[in-house]
Amino acid sequence: MPRRRTSSSSSSTGNPTGGPAAGAAAPRNRTPQPVRVRRRTFGDFVKAFLAFVALLVLVVGVPLALAMTAGWPLPSSFEPMEWLKKDLSVSTFLDILTFVVWLAWAQFTACVLVETKAALSGVGVPGRVPGAGPSQLLARQLVAALLLVGAAAGSFTPGLSQLGQSLEGNQRPTVAAAQQTPGIFAQQQEQAAGTAAALAEQASQAAAHADAGGGGAKRQGDTKFYRIQPPEGRHHDSLWEIAERHLGDGRRYKEIFDLNKDRIQPDGSKLSEASLIRPGWIMEMPGDARGGDLVEMPDEAPEVSPEVRQQIHDYAKTGDHARGSGDHAQGSGGGAAHVSVPEQRPAPAPENSGHRQQPAPQHAVPAQDASSFGLPEALLAAPLLAAGLLGALGHRRRQALWQSAFGGIGGRRGMEPPTPAGDAQDAQDALLVGADPEGVRLLDRSLRGLAASLAAESRPLPTVYAAWLSNGDLHLQLAQPSGKPPTPWQLGQDQTFWMLAKDDAERYEDVDTAAPYPGLVSLGTMDGSRLLLNLESVPGIVSLSGRADDRAAVFASVAAELATNGWSDRMTITLVGFGEDLTALAPSRLRHLDGIEALLETMEAETRQRRGALGAAGHDSVLTGRTGPAQHTRWAPHLVLLAAEPSAEDALRLAELAADAGRLGIGYLVGTESGDLPGAAWEMEITGEGKLLAPLLGLELDAQLLPAAQQRAVVELFVEADPERGPDGPGNTPPFLVDISEQGRPAVYARLVGPYEIIGLDAPDGERSALLHEALALLLLHREGVHPRVLSSALWPRGVTDDVREALVERLRAWLGTDPDGTPRLGTDDTGRLTLAKSVVSDLDVLRSLYYEATQGRGVDSRAVRGRLLTDALVLVRGPLLADRPEGRYRWLTHEIIDAQLPLLVADTGLALSAFHMEKNRAEKAIEALDAALRTAPADERLWNELLRATHALGDPERLTALAADLIGRSGARGLPPRTEALLDELLPTWRDAVAAAG
């Protein structure tokens, strides 16, 4: 039996009638049967009559009225100079108004003609009349009402012509979807609801008739077939041309391919690729195929030879029932993808913290208002993208610190990363405010936990078209029903939705399994839910139309999130036609190609390689490869982002490559000017207002964008932090230095290195003490200034109102007080960022200043001063940063690199003091300094190597052997680092034997 849009039907409904058990194989659609035409009611004729009257008045009455009353508004002769000399009068304005009315009439008449042609032909989508959105919609409704009593009413509105073709999986779900998604293309849904309900009634009657007549058995006479024609000259038949001739749209060739894939042909071969068809093959056609004598119905076409008729009869027996459950396992085998919005649970009540809270960042889409303080809204409204960029940026900066500290980069010594300015600083602040790392962590753990649970039950991963984040819950939209999900997952609004509540997701822990859906990427939000599209699972190309700048913002957002997200292990992202500078975000993931020809060559080779690898491994798709016995292969996805519209020939080659891409883990997002792209499974459009539209999918999203200005700012952050930049890069950023003399005693002194203490201020009241202390710590760690939005998002990750934030800032200002000259110790700089006066100092500031003075200041010329400064600096180290901070607070520290800066600063101080003592052969003093530094930086290899040298200088082999044994015990299974092992070979050649003898 033919597979008729199985993905679409199953994604719209699960088992509404309570069919097979959840664990059973996916239900299959019956072959379409003749639909009994419902008798037209009196109301239908009334609507048709009124529509006829309205069309008659608008198309005929308006021009007649204009001709009789106003006449033709333009002059009879063409004399522009005479027109300009005439005086402006009331008649001039009336002529202009009359001309506008004539233009509006002409546009509406064109819409009526276009909609009438589409309705009567019954194939294809009505063409768009430029600039006639409302007019064309009105014309469509009037023509639909007029023809509702005729035979062509199934094709009035785009997509409605398909509603009557599937009996169980398409009609009733369409009505249900319209009820479940209020506000989503509401006008179109209301327009379609009446016709959809009528078609659903007809479909249910036909289904009952089919069940009564043979238990759902197929009647061959109701299915159409096409026989591939022999070539004529250089012209060869193709599925694209067949679809264009008989389905009205060449892009529907995929439907023909899905209906006939892997079925035995008369010559014994099978259809495996859409581009490889042979003369004499039989193609089963979708139910709405028509045109000419090439679409054959053998029982009603006596001109067909008996041999061909028998071939068609035999071929008709190789439909869905011959495939068994293989399609269920494959998941992405065919049909049109469909996405609908999940039903939302009520949002959880806000925490009782004494103030009103805003929604969590992952759900909120900030409005353009004064509260943004000029920060880029595109980054504020993209919590998952911001979290990925912020995490990747922090990793990049830590790499630069470590390479600098270990001498890997000659021109980048120093502990302070470059301080961004201008747009880059605004972008960094927006990332800090908008990021939702907790949401990323839960999403990653939830998906990996699901994969581990399914693998434990020996179940394949279901094909997932999209994920929705709604009120903290995660909804996965499956390509088709896949049984009951493993605990704690549960079925959503139907069997194509698996849902995981936020409370259940928080119980997941890290598991060692491959990321199951690394191709998920955020597209935008709708009705409080955030959509993540799984690019690698869409059965075909995803096309994006719209203005070039708007498309570029979408492409940049998709590329940046895919390159830095936290729910993927590894992948390849190929950028064509844009984004060469974006490769700085993740050089290991992103690659840029110059043109589409290079892309096609690359993808043709990779497609062949992946097909062969899957076949050799015995997998039907990359999903089974990620969770099966060969899980180590990981089957990383390859996602292609093509911003430049391909030529017609290249588009066909791309469509052929994408026909089987979902099974291979390859996804395509392609830009187009016209919106008409061969092989496009999903067609989307980005508007100038930032809306991402997919009418056939029922989606109208507030698009997630990364405009050009923000893209440049983000790239600048990554380029400045690149550890591979040479000496020509930016110089060292000097630390914030304080006066370490007796005259520079601060008014307020905070001890952050170790337990948190504040000297010089009265303790605030108990209720506000924790918030004020945390705010002061954040400001002390950012002497360059903190944006008010960054401060509030750090203290209240779930969001807070403006009045609460402003009240806290005022309390903090009052608590810190003023300097003797009346200057507030908490001020605001020219950019609106909060800054501390120099009279407010932390021990970390003093530690940095002492080390800087000892190594680059007064200590360079005075050995005694250098020794005293380094000793004073090491005394300040009392433990890790904010050692006694309360649980659940200071979560913003995960975004900081102070956890890497402080150990490196302490290690550098210990090394410098050790070298100071070794100059005078005071090995014991050097060992004391190194031991003190190791208490804060126990993993620093440089400290252990200097400790070995200082111990060797004592001339005590037994002590050196004991130290070597201690090092081996600490290194564990990894063994000693190569440098340390080489140093031991130099200092104690017999260390291996001595350590072994010592036990």
**What is the per-residue pLDDT for 480?**
87
| Residue scoring higher pLDDT (754 or 675) | 754
Q: How far apart are CA 140 and CA 136, in angstroms?
A: 6
> Residue 689: CB partners within 8 Å, gap ≥ 6?
none
pLDDT at 757: 93
Over the Cα atoms of the chain, what is R_g?
Answer: 35
Strands 282-284 and 225-227: antiparallel
How many CB atoms are closer than 10 A to CB 52? 13
Strand bridging mode 826-828 / 834-836? antiparallel
pLDDT at residue 16 above 60? no
917, 929 Cβ separation under 8 angstroms: yes
Q: Is the pLDDT of residue 669 over 90?
A: yes
The answer to whether residue 192 scores a pLDDT higher than 70 is no
Q: Output 515 or 66, whichever has higher pLDDT.
A: 515
Using DSSP's 3-state secondary structure scheme, residue 476 falls into strand
| pLDDT at res. 82 | 58
Q: What is the number of other CB atoms lying within 10 angstroms of the CB of residue 68?
A: 8
Q: Does residue 536 contact residue 668 with C-beta atoms inside 8 Å?
A: no
More confident position, 660 or 967:
967
What pLDDT shows up at residue 639? 93
Element spanning 165, H or E: none
878-912 burial, b at 16+ Cβ within 10 Å, e below that, comes to eebbbeebeeebbebbebbbbebbbbbbbbbbbbb
> C-alpha distances in angstroms, 259 versus 256, 619, 794?
5, 22, 55
Please determine, for residue 476, whether its predicted confidence score (pLDDT) is greater than 70: yes
Between 954 and 38, name the one with better pLDDT: 954
Report for 60-74, 154-168, 249-263, 396-410: range of highest mean pLDDT: 249-263
Ranges 78-87, 314-323, 836-845: which has the least confidence: 78-87
Q: What is the predicted pLDDT for the residue at 208?
A: 45
Q: Which residues contact 235 (CB under 8 A, 6 or more apart)?
A: none
Is the backbone peptide bond immediately before 695 cis, with ω within 30 degrees of 0? no
Over residues 783-792, the pLDDT tens digits come to 989 999 999 9
Half-sphere exposure of 582 (CA within 13 A, CB side): 32
| pLDDT the model gives residue 817 | 94
Higher pLDDT, 531 or 506: 531
Q: 599 and 658 in contact (C-beta within 8 Å)? A: no
Find the mean pLDDT for residues 308-336: 58
User: Backbone phi, then psi, for 500, in 5-degree steps?
Assistant: -125, 115
Q: Average pLDDT, whole number, for the chain?
A: 76
Mean pLDDT of 54-62: 82
Q: In a 10 Å sphere around its CB, with 0-12 CB exposed, 13-18 middle and 19+ buried, how is residue 328 labelled?
A: buried
pLDDT tens digit string along 858-911? 888 899 999 999 999 999 998 889 988 888 889 898 888 888 889 989 999 999
CA distance 825 to 818: 5
* Helices within 578-684 (DSSP H only): 596-617, 622-627, 648-658, 661-664
In this predicted structure, what is the pLDDT of residue 788?
92
Q: What is the mean pLDDT of residues 470-482?
A: 90
Range in 3-7, 313-317, 671-675, 746-750 with the lowest mean pLDDT: 3-7
Instruction: Find the angle CA(76)-CA(110)-CA(246) to the nearest 5 degrees.
Output: 145
**Whole-angstrom distance, CA of residue 379 vs CA of residue 900:** 26
pLDDT value for 637: 87
* Predicted confidence (pLDDT) at residue 556 exceeds the cutoff of 70: yes
Kindly report, residue by residue over 593-648, the tens digit of the pLDDT: 988 999 999 998 988 888 887 777 777 677 766 665 545 445 688 999 999 889 88
Q: Which of 211-220, 378-387, 966-975 has the highest mean pLDDT?
A: 378-387
Bridge partner list, 544: 671, 684
Q: Which residues contact 80 (CB under 8 A, 6 or more apart)?
A: none
Q: Confidence band (pLDDT; 50, 70, 90) for 999?
A: low
Rounded CA-CA distance 147/128 in Å is 20
CB 703 within 8 Å of CB 523: yes
CA 366 to chain centre: 18
pLDDT in tens, 696-748: 777 889 999 999 999 999 999 999 887 666 544 444 556 788 888 878 889 99
Long-range own/partner contacts, residues 45-50 (CB < 8 A, 24 or more apart) = 45/149, 47/145, 47/148, 48/145, 48/146, 48/147, 48/148, 48/149, 50/145
Residue, of 174 and 584, whose pLDDT is higher? 584
Mean pLDDT (whole number) for 390-406? 83
Parallel, antiparallel, or unpaired for β 666-672 and 638-642?
parallel
What pLDDT score does 822 carry? 92
Q: How far apart are CA 502 and CA 928, in angstroms?
A: 50
Kindly report the pTM of this predicted structure: 0.65
- Percent of the chain whose pLDDT exceeds 90: 31
Q: Is the pLDDT of residue 83 over 80?
A: no
pLDDT, tens digit, for every residue of 441-461? 999 999 999 999 998 898 888
- Nearest Cα to 226, choosing from 283, 271, 310, 303? 283
Is pLDDT at 28 greater than 60 in this prediction?
no
What is the structure's pLDDT at 54?
84
Percent helix, strand, coil in the chain (nearest 5)? Answer: 50, 10, 40
Q: Does pLDDT of 976 surpass 50?
A: yes
Crossing angle of helices 802-816 and 788-795, rounded to 10°: 100
